[in-house]
Chain A
Amino acid sequence: MRIAVIGAGVVGALIARELARFEVTSIRLFEREPDVGWGVTKANSAIVHGGFHDRPGSVRSKFCVPGNSMYESLCAELDVPFQRTGAYVLAFDEQETAALETLRTWGNENGVSDLEIHSRKQVLAHEPQVNPQVKAALWSSSVAITEPWELAMAAVETAAGNGVSVHLAEAITGIETRANKVCAVLTETDRYPVDAVVNAAGLFADRIAAMVGLDVPCLYPRRGEYVLLDKKSAGVVNSVLFPAPNEITKGILVLPTIDGGVLLGPTAVDQLPDARGEAETTPEGIREVLEGARRLVPELNCSLAVKAFAGLRPESTQEDFVVGRSPIEGFYQAAAMRSPGLTAAPAISQWLVRDVIAVDLSLRQTGSFRPSRIRTPRMAELSLEERDRHIRKDPRLGRIVCYCNQVTEGEIIDAIHRGATTLDGIKFRTRAGFGRCQGASCSASILRILARELHVEPEEIVQRRSESWILSGKART
């Protein structure tokens, strides 16, 4: 059996890893970007949702709660940060208070067992910075935060460690079918015969589906803008704060990030279906984020903003995931993964692989699957004694390169060995350049380390894609 997974975002990565548990001749994971997790995975709120925001009966509701419950052990297995912060949905008037009841009912129907309505006093006791105008709030203890791109990279690393071949910067240009059955995937340079294809192509899943003639709901990007605050603002909120949701979105949130900052956003602005390039921030969007966030936490110090950024998430007219078999034999989908796609991803990948693909293709589990990856731990998260022990074995783990996030040369070299070739590749693997100076202090050093380890000139190192050059050449000597 030969299987191709299209898309190395968090969904495709987890599917590839799950497939690696089975005896398959070849599993290939294709990604159009030069690195893992650079699409929808990179720019979302990084929340593992509780399952009360999704209308009962939807596919979303079916996978969100099981996905949430899988996260803790999955993240432990993959050495990915995960923290159950809990979440409040805040109501500021009668109508919003009534909306909390709807969410609670939805949650209960979806199998969420931890929901409580808290009084103003309870909310303020737990979250003293919340707008004192709050009337009531829905509390969910199961909501958590994580690092989505780290999860995608960890899943790809374990998949690769179990024999999956990872094809980065190799976009699928066509899919061949014969007698209503997939038989090969095409890229610009190659043709790969396959018995099955899994479409996890994120923002581009409809285009992949169209390659086999499937008329799936057209995806259109929904732009979300965010503002990230410096770690100095840590502690201003302890849990994820949602406003009462409207028909379209969960609204603008205030939440702690897994590395100690505070994230505000997102907006939700629908784009034309063709606007699938890099997302841009806008003056209106940034304003909306700050206003929306201050509505929940009036005393937010927005002068601590480190950056604003934007991401695109795939929305479809039916507002639900498209997962499972398709009318084309051997063509499976995990598409239209809008929120809560991140939360649902582990449950969807497990179900799709174990209960659908393995059954259809009569796959047998291997006895040799290794579920974890080998990675140098983040030095900044260890005790001084543990760090000292690591440094005695490898002095490079004592050389700090990124001063803001205390990332060492040893961790950067480890990231390069795990596949990073670009500045962003280092940033998303190690958090170097992710801090308050945004790489002003460390970029030059990281570039030098990348060039040295990859045996190229510093001018050949790029930020992201091949066109995103950083240096134009040598200075005069």
Chain B
Amino acid sequence: MDSFREGANVNHKNADVVVIGGGAAGVAAGAAAAKEGARTVLIERENAPGGVLDQCIHPGFGLHRYKEELTGPEFAHRLIAEIHETDAEILSSHYVLGIDPIKRVVSTVGPDGIVETHAKSVILATGARERPFSALMIPGPRPAGIFAAGLAQKFVNIHGVLPGRRAIVLGSGDIGLIMARRLHLEGVEVVAVVEMKAFPGGLMRNVVQCLEDFGIPLFLRRTVVAIHGEDRLEGVTLADVDEAGRPIRGTEERIDVDTLVVSVGLIPETELISSFVELEPINGGPPVNSRMQTPAPWLFAAGNNVAVFDLVDWVAVAGERAGRFAAQYARGDLTARVPIRLIRGENVLHMVPSSLDRETITTLFLRVPRPLLNVEVVIGGVSCHRQLGARPSEMIEIPISAKLLSGLSQASEARVEVREG
């Protein structure tokens, strides 16, 4: 894997598998690919792998994968130890400028210059970014004091500084809930968490452990409709919203806060591939098959850039799967399979993968659009899974066993439904 200079007069490398992104999915993918014997290069834009886990200092990670409760940094540490046991190369402080889908070259820039890595297969593990508050186009001025929840988390947990004294959290996704507690514990007065939907966006355990245990109110069906303050935030106006999410006149209430922490959704990072892979419209990321392979057969994808997951354990599992199959592809050992295309039926929002094949055992992840009771998952008319209830905040995981696969009909499509009752 020695660097050499050629025609274009920048550094060149060769690899079997290039992994883009050193978060949970990427590190798991890189370790798995290297274990399969692939010459693996993992590219990370920060100065070390770990991704967002490094700033998630709360516990709750690893219950599935390691059967114990870990903090984010602990989880990352274990994963990184796995990749360090292999001979995978980690190219840190390198930012991917582009992927040439014809030549399969990944161009990066870092403090040692431009590097072009020629790959046999590529794994996209770029994760997701936060939707900025400004994209909501809430009327008013633009004072300081409005923070994406992840940015607030980075300030507090990595840089050891506080974003304000009195805060409201907009959005009850897991990051919003975790940050409400984190700020409260740091002595910031957290007035409330405000959620536009009729149900919280994050895991139930986080609603209990982050809000209820600390007496932080959760306002459902309410949102921020105006911002006040010229230089620093001085307050926000909240209002109730109707079923369509429109503010209801007469319900406005101004609350004086100097800080607004915003957690209004994650967007899969797909800019590197969107010019040559058609994205899955609901998931927001590339469609993948049972082997985490995208429609560009040399390109695999895993993690929050495929669809936003709620547990890092599943992200790591998907990463491993992508790493294993990408290594096989690089070796020329991955034969094409006939896909069974999965069609979204009733009550299915996010769905990964987008197709199955009859030979690959995998896990199907589904997100429902609203809370449901007594659910039954039906694939191609075959009942596959039952559970007591399902919430949008927690994906349903359905093991796709050999037995289940053999039970599916010979059709090239199968409808996936989540039935209630």
Contacts and interface: CB of A to CB of B under 8 A. Distances in A.
Given A227-B137, A440-B132, A399 B159 contact: no
B231 A465 contact: yes
A384 B95 contact: no
A307 B137 contact: yes
A374 interface: no
Contacts, number: 154
Interface string B117-138: 0000000000001101111010
B142 A474 contact: no
Nearest to B93: A399
Which of A305, A468, A477 is the most central at the interface, judged by chain B CB atoms within 10 Å of its CB?
A468
Given A440-B129, A440-B151, A475-B156, A400 B140 contact: no
B111 A307 contact: no
B112 A281 contact: no
5 contacts: A392-B113, A395-B111, A396-B111, A458-B161, A476-B187
Nearest to A392: B113
A94 interface: no
A411 B155 CA distance: 23
A309 B142 contact: yes
A474 B111 contact: no
B154 interface: yes
B111 A469 contact: no
Interface string A440-473: 1101100110000000001100111111111111
A300 B89 CA distance: 43
Contact of B140 (A232, A280, A391, A403): A280
A391 B111 contact: yes
Contacts of B11: 388
A245 to B, nearest CB: 26
Contact of A444 (B114, B142, B159): B159
B129 A437 contact: yes
Interface of A: 227, 232, 277-283, 285-286, 305-309, 379, 384-385, 387-388, 391-392, 395-396, 398-400, 403, 406, 423, 436-441, 443-444, 447-448, 458-459, 462-477
Contact of A462 (B8, B144, B160): B144
Nearest to B115: A388
B141 interface: yes
B111 A399 contact: yes
Given A391-B112, A471-B163, 13 more contacts: A282-B139, A384-B10, A387-B114, A388-B11, A391-B110, A396-B111, A399-B110, A399-B111, A440-B150, A468-B231, A469-B232, A473-B161, A476-B187
Nearest to A231: B271
Contacts of A400: 45, 95, 109
The 9 closest A-B pairs by CB, nearest first: A307-B134, A395-B111, A463-B144, A440-B148, A467-B231, A438-B132, A468-B231, A400-B95, A468-B144
Sort chain B's interface into a size bin: 35 or more
A308 B139 CA distance: 8
B278 interface: no
B230 interface: yes
B343 to A, nearest CB: 25
Contacts of B258: 472
Interface string B238-281: 00000000000000000000100000000000010010000000
Given A385-B8, A406-B97, A470 B163 contact: yes
A388 B134 CA distance: 35
A395 B109 CA distance: 10
Contacts of B112: 391, 395, 398
B162 A472 contact: yes
B266 to A, nearest CB: 11
B58 interface: no
Contacts of A437: 129-130, 132, 148
Nearest to B133: A438
A406 B95 contact: yes
A278 B11 CA distance: 48
Interface in B73-99: 93, 95, 97
B54 to A, nearest CB: 12
B50 to A, nearest CB: 15
B345 interface: no
Contacts of B140: 280-281
A459 B162 CA distance: 9
Interface in B155-179: 155-156, 158-165
